[in-house]
Amino acid sequence: MFDFMTPFYLHYYNSHAWMDTYWMGHPVYKCPLDLFLYQEILFSVKPDVIVECGTNQGGSALYLAHMCDLMNKGRIVTVDIVEVERPKHDRITYLTGDSASVDTLNRVKPFINPGDVVLVILDSDHTEQHVYKELMLYHQLVTVGSYIIVEDTIVGHPVIPELLPGPMEAVGRFLPDHGEFIIDMNKHKFHLTFNPNGYLLRVK
Ligand SMILES: C[S@@+](CC[C@H](N)C(=O)[O-])C[C@H]1O[C@@H](n2cnc3c(N)ncnc32)[C@H](O)[C@@H]1O
């Protein structure tokens, strides 16, 4: 994406600092600049429901819940295939299941009321096949003016190319048939993001 950034991307990613990043003491596997973009998005979109695929230890869900606390609005439904001890918060519901299954989608849907503003984050299995399935399943939940955020599109672009094809390729497969979504290029403004081309804004 930004060729001049490639050495820094590689240096930052390979330092594994993203695995040593915490929100209120809970690991959150994100670049802090992306967390700041999340804050900006949440404030402008003000979602009623945030659906997260890929909970891990719950640090990102807790971050989202605290942002919702500040706005006095929003709840989080987060799905992971693995069940572990995670932070408790009134706004967070943890579900266990394969995020790319119709059964899991059907367990998420009841948390959404008619008219709710919905934002979706895909941060589970980062293979192209899995992310594409998630895009096909969850994009229908996203309301106009909100986002489906595809995490870790840096896989292969430029980090860990051996894991290609990854999330970026899934986005490339999805977008041509889904003109209702555009890549929000403004979200590249901090230059360092783990999600280049991954902030998909629903425009119609
Ligand atoms: C990158 S971590 C999520 C990081 C978390 N959102 C954060 O920011 O701290 C990916 C998670 O996806 C989960 N996962 C992998 N395959 C999955 C699947 N098929 N369905 C749901 N979750 C899955 C893993 O168990 C892991 O916890």
* 57 CA: nearest ligand 1 atom: 9
**Measuring from each residue's beta carbon to the nearest atom of ligand 1, which residues come in under 6 Å?**
28-30, 53-56, 59-60, 79-82, 98-100, 123-125
List pLDDT tens digits, range 168-179.
999 999 999 999
Name the token pair of 148: 């489906």
The Cα 137–Cα 25 span in angstroms is 32
Cα(80) to centroid(ligand 1), Å: 6
> Where do the structural domains in the chain lie, given as residue ranges?
3-202
pLDDT of 25: 98
pLDDT of 179: 98
pLDDT of 108: 98
Paired strand residues for 78: 52, 94
Specify the residue for token string 């299941």. 97
Cα(196) to centroid(ligand 1), Å: 19
Answer for the pair 202, 146: CB distance below 8 angstroms, yes or no.
Answer: yes
Report whether pLDDT(146) > 70.
yes
Paired strand residues for 95: 79
The Cα 127–Cα 23 span in angstroms is 26
Report whether pLDDT(2) > 80.
no
Residues in the chain: 204
Where is average pLDDT lowest: 3-7, 148-152, 154-158?
3-7
Report whether pLDDT(124) > 80.
yes
Give the confidence band of 186 by pLDDT, cuts at 50, 70, 90. very high
Whether the ω angle into residue 165 lies within 30 degrees of 0, i.e. cis, is: yes
Q: Tell me whether strands 199-202 and 181-183 are parallel, antiparallel or unpaired.
A: antiparallel
Name the token pair of 1: 């994406």
The Cα 88–Cα 57 span in angstroms is 11
- Report the percentage of the chain scoring pLDDT > 70: 99
* 130 CA: nearest ligand 1 atom: 19
Answer for the pair 51, 14: CB distance below 8 angstroms, yes or no.
Answer: no
Specify the residue for token string 């190319």. 161
pLDDT of 198: 98
Answer for the pair 51, 110: CB distance below 8 angstroms, yes or no.
Answer: no
CATH fit for domain 3-202, picks 3.40.50.150, 3.40.718.10, 2.60.40.1180, 3.40.140.10: 3.40.50.150
Cα(8) to centroid(ligand 1), Å: 25
The Cα 146–Cα 106 span in angstroms is 21
Compute and round to an integer the Cα radius of gyration of the chain.
Answer: 16
Specify the residue for token string 């994406």. 1
Report whether pLDDT(50) > 70.
yes
Mutation test of ligand 1: which of 55, 126, 131, 135 has the most ligand atoms closer than 8 Å to its C-beta? 55
Report whether pLDDT(1) > 80.
no
In the predicted model, what is the mean pLDDT of the chain?
97
> Bigger pLDDT: 8 or 38?
38
Mutation test of ligand 1: which of 24, 50, 82, 159 has the most ligand atoms closer than 8 Å to its C-beta? 82
Contacts of 164 (CB under 8 A, 6+ apart): 128, 155, 156
Cα(117) to centroid(ligand 1), Å: 24
Cα(54) to centroid(ligand 1), Å: 3
3-state helix, strand, coil in the chain (%, to 5): 40, 20, 40
Cα(82) to centroid(ligand 1), Å: 8
CA quadruple 196, 184, 30, 175: dihedral sign? negative
pLDDT of 3: 80
Give the confidence band of 26 by pLDDT, cuts at 50, 70, 90. very high
